[in-house]
Structure 1
Amino acid sequence: MNNEVVYLNGRFVAPDQASVSVFDRGFLFADSVYEVIPYYRGIGFRLQQHLDRLVHSLRAIRIQANEDWAAILDELVQRNGGGSLSVYLQVSRGSAGYRTHTYDDRMQPTVFACTSPIRDIYGEGADQVQGYHVIVTADLRWHRCDIKSTGLLPNILVLQQAREAGADEALLVRDGLLSEGTSSNLFLVRQGVLYTPKRSSEILGGTTRELILELAAEAGIPYQEVDLRPEELATADEVWISSSTRGVIPVLSIDGEPVADGRKGPLWQKMFALFTCFQHRLMTGEA
């Protein structure tokens, strides 16, 4: 881990000097939201989009927290050496000093952030990206998946189910439709067209998902946001998942069956190259 310094409520301190009340509502009720933001060479990757989503989550659960988020996170990254780091930012409603389901709008939120090292996947190149093996299972989560809540027990249980089956991730199904992974968005490719589930309260509006669609539009790759059924996975030419810290990842098998020929597909190779160019522009100030 790379937590020489963490941030807690206005202070940059060593982890063993950071403490939160046992009555904090984030601890008692998961009454909190979070973001995970990759930094490469000390620069936040899609930082503003992450912060916009944080504001959406805060407003959705009515937490009043107005901080200079970018300044806090940038300083935290620099204090931890810069480079390639993942920043975890959590904001809870705070503590009432006792356990109660009701809350007061005047409560002071708890703001916490820490870092951990990540790989520079775009710098390493496509050959170093390991394809994923996934399973398909029921989506047990609540219906406000657009809120990035810390209440992740369903995600944890399903991911553990995937790991016990020898897989890396699980694709989730609700009411007969594919939604997303436990911590990733989903894409299918058929005959050169990119398909992804419609954005709704049932899925998280992934910042990397949005970037994939932006890059596809710029490159002339046709895409559609549609309802997708689990049986469509069997006829896909390619399947991808995406997340902030892992980028865009090819899925090689689903429930033990290979996707197409079981190798990284040509459109994924093209999208990864587009990501690499975007990161280069970001690092050089051109993006």
Structure 2
Amino acid sequence: MPTAAELSSADPAAQQAEAEAELDRQLTQGAHEIVADAAGHRIDRAALPVGQVHNGVSLVEFWGLDAPTIQVWRLEVTASPGSRVDYTDPTSQQLLREMLSVRRLDVGALSALLARIKARQVAAFGPGLGGVKAAMLMARVHQAIERPEDFPGLLSDDELVEAYKISANIGPKFGWSHDLLVGAATTPGSAMSGLKLRKWTVPPWLRRTNKVILFPPVALCLLAIERLLSAAESHYSQKKAVFRDEMLRRNMAIPK
């Protein structure tokens, strides 16, 4: 006579039921598995927090689904308001709540969660819209695993402090580099002062020289570098503010 375990392993429906049951258990209790957190510390998965959605913030906003972005190489393009997909239905809201425990799941439960997302969305909305909604939710799950710092509410206290310190340290470095570049380009007598970083125009004195073909690409490169440095400084400044807000919500001391 085959054992119950053998029967279960031969029955796809029984396997799915077991996976669903284990997923439900881990969503509430977490998986007892020692892993390295985002700060490099060894920690039990079950000790990682369930994401908290604070007053005034919806699940859709927490997961960044209110203004979905499409990443093309390293550029993010924000979809227009008219093209946004609605995630306020009960099916999506339940899945978004379950996703708050994503970092507490082991590999098996994570696979079960992704399968659940796809199955429930397709069952509720069909392969077209349901497939699109499932794909976006699954992408957010992968993002939360690979880049948890994008969702401060999913970070442990130690991870949150480390993320704040990194942003506070890196942002000013881009700012200093930006200021040095602009300063070098705008200092009277500087060899670069005629390139006019902030307005892409060929200065009159340059038009009167035979170097008019050579200098525009240089100015364009400098303009691009200046804009990139400015954008990087702004990015880390915003990150620092978001991490600070989350620390204040948790009544944590802000590192000096």
TM-score, normalised on structure 1?
A: 0.27
TM-score, normalised on structure 2?
A: 0.29
Give the structure with higher Rg (CA).
2
More strand by share: 1
More helix by share: 2
